[in-house]
């Protein structure tokens, strides 16, 4: 079998008496959209933070493309092709959509934020920003201040910011959070397009979105993976129904 793009092996992370990541192992194949679901407090965000390098595991390992990245800092992982969508709160409201993405492209290129003036003017960065905005369907809003954009549009910019680093693997932590029905349908359509170009790990509570998008789903409960499989297998899994999906059978589909 081909080497997975991402391999997580026996990862453990504790907070005091709580084992937030309890011996988690999972693989993400190149080209796959792998969703991670589970109840509140299951350890999804803690897991993502260990993938990005913002949190150190107590034991276990993470490798990307066969390379052990367990102890690499976040910026080195980013350079190797791992990107996490930045939270909306990290966007600069008084700057345009294009400025925000150009800044991200500049950071990835290894320049200092002190030279922000360059990010505005430098053609390479402008072009990279416009290309990323185009990929998320926001090219027409490039010159609008982020403060004037809707919540859904800001979510799209987060994705453009992540894409500006040209990642191999995109880690998305609840991209549908706070979106209305129409906006979340738009986000599902957008992710359906992006997944053709980049492998994705998706943490999400919106089950119709997860079941519409995922190739494989891993279910976390109390820090442990209780099931991993394709959507049909997860939907039918008795342990998953008991622990998480309950009676909310997934019948609604996006797109």
Ligand X SMILES: Nc1ncnc2c1ncn2[C@@H]1O[C@H](COP(=O)(O)OP(=O)(O)OP(=O)(O)O)[C@@H](O)[C@H]1O
* Contacting positions for ligand X (CB under 6 A): 15, 18, 20, 38, 40-46
Output the smallest distance, CB 171 to ligand X, in A: 13
Neighbour order of strands in the sheet with 59-64: 18-28, 6-15, 59-64, 67-68
Q: Which is nearer to ligand X, 38 or 57 (CB)?
A: 38
Instruction: Tell me the closest approach of the beta carbon of residue 40 to ligand X, in angstroms.
Output: 3
Residue 119 Cβ, how far from ligand X at the closest point, in Å? 32
> Mapping DSSP to helix (H, G, I), strand (E, B) and coil, where does residue 87 land?
coil
Query: From CA 57, how far away is CA 74, in angstroms rounded?
Result: 13
| CA 189 from centroid of its chain's CA atoms | 16
Nearby residues of 126 by Cβ (< 8 Å), 6 or more positions away:
98, 102, 120
Q: How far is the CB of 87 from ligand X (least distance, A)?
A: 12
Between residues 55 and 107, which has the closer beta carbon with respect to ligand X? 55
CB closer to ligand X, 101 vs 219:
219
CA 248/CA 252 separation, integer angstroms: 10
Which residue number, 36 or 133, has a Cβ lying nearer to ligand X? 36
Q: Minimum distance from CB of 222 to ligand X (Å)?
A: 8
Closer residue to ligand X, CB minimum distance, 128 or 220: 220
How many whole angstroms separate alpha carbon 43 and alpha carbon 199?
21
């Amino acid at each position: 079998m081909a080497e997975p793009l991402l391999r997580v092996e026996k990862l453990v992370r504790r907070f005091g008496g709580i084992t937030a990541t309890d011996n988690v192992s999972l693989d993400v194949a190149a080209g796959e959209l792998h969703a991670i679901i589970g109840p509140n407090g299951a350890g999804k965000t803690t897991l993502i933070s260990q993938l990005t390098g913002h949190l150190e595991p107590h034991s276990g390992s993470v490798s990307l493309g066969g390379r052990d990245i367990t102890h690499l800092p976040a910026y080195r992982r980013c350079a190797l092709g791992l990107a996490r969508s930045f939270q909306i709160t990290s966007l600069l409201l008084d700057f345009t959509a294009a400025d925000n993405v150009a800044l991200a492209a500049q950071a990835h290129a290894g320049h200092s934020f002190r030279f922000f003036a360059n990010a505005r003017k430098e053609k390479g960065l402008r072009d990279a920003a416009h290309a990323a905005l185009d990929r998320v369907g926001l090219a027409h809003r490039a010159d609008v201040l982020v403060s004037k954009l809707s919540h859904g549009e800001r979510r799209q910019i987060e994705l453009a910011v992540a894409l500006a680093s040209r990642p191999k693997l995109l880690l998305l932590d609840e991209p549908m959070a706070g979106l209305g029905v129409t906006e979340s349908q738009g986000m599902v359509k957008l992710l359906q397009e992006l997944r053709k170009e980049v492998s994705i790990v998706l943490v999400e509570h919106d089950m119709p979105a997860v079941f519409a998008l995922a190739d494989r789903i891993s279910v976390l409960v109390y820090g442990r993976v209780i099931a991993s499989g394709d959507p049909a297998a997860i939907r039918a899994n008795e342990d998953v129904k008991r622990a998480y999906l309950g009676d909310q059978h997934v019948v609604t589909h996006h797109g």
